[in-house]
Amino acid sequence: MTKHTILFLAANPLGTDRLALDREAHAIQVELERSGHREQFELVTRWAVQPLDLLRELRKLRPSVVHFSGHGGHAAPGAPRTGEPSRRDVATASGAPGGEHDGGLFFQGPDGRAQQVTTAALSDTFRAAGASVKLVVLNACYSEPQAEALAAHVDCVVGMGGSFSDAAARSFAIGFYGGLGERESVAVAYDQGCAAIGLEGEAEADRPRLKVRSGVDATQLVLAAAPAVADPP
């Protein structure tokens, strides 16, 4: 039986909205444990991840799934927003147009503040060290371009087409990993993740976007697949 490692990478740098990333990791663990095939998955969490941690953990763990939980976007980090629900994009610094910076994901720098990892750098990293990875989930705002780029190297990638709330991100993860743990295909698990957002009353069920590598059928990619039965002698 193949056991799949899910590498959960969390980053919530200083100067960005506070996110309940620990609740998301816990929700994924609980959903996998409730599923019928929990023995086929191992969730490994890494917190306050810095850019080089991605490369190191890909080499060390050789995961089947990489899940990034945190912030994404185009803008330079500014002051965290107050008086509204936490979101997974960065607040634009005063006077900095949102399109001035390349899109990417925000890891944590050595000083604890946001350090952007560009789309090109992410793509190069998975090309160089991500041969084991079958699935990537970028649970961060405006991460659809990164998902599109990573689909050149990974079978299936989920990114977000726009701003995304903390609550919706957690709901998607619950629905998605619950599906994977019940031996559903990536395509069906993705649909269940989107459905879970609506069930929780969030209006962002259209934000997750599934990107599939050329030649791959997401309806046939089942991580918790039944073991092959040998032919009788």
Q: Are 36 and 180 in contact (CB under 8 A)?
A: no
166-220 pLDDT tens trace: 999 999 999 999 999 999 999 999 999 999 999 999 889 999 999 999 999 999 9
Query: At residue 11, does pLDDT exceed 70?
Result: yes
pLDDT category, 75, cuts 50, 70, 90?
low
Architecture category of domain 4-79+86-212 in CATH: 3-Layer(aba) Sandwich (3.40)
**In angstroms, what CA-CA distances link 181 with 11, 17, 41, 145, 199?**
25, 31, 8, 27, 19
pLDDT category, 48, cuts 50, 70, 90?
very high
E-strand stretches of the chain: 4-10, 41-46, 65-69, 71-73, 104-108, 114-118, 135-139, 156-160, 208-212
- In this predicted structure, what is the pLDDT of residue 103? 85
- In this predicted structure, what is the pLDDT of residue 227? 65
pLDDT category, 74, cuts 50, 70, 90?
confident
- In this predicted structure, what is the pLDDT of residue 180? 97
Domain-wise residue ranges, the chain: 4-79+86-212
- In this predicted structure, what is the pLDDT of residue 96? 37
How many C-beta neighbours within 10 Å does residue 110 have? 7
Using CA atoms, how far apart are residues 29 and 69, in angstroms rounded to an integer? 14
Q: What is the largest CA-CA distance in the chain?
A: 73
- In this predicted structure, what is the pLDDT of residue 232? 59
pTM: 0.88
76-124 pLDDT tens trace: 555 454 555 566 566 443 333 334 345 899 999 999 999 999 999 999 9
- In this predicted structure, what is the pLDDT of residue 198? 96
**128: which 2 tokens?**
């160089």
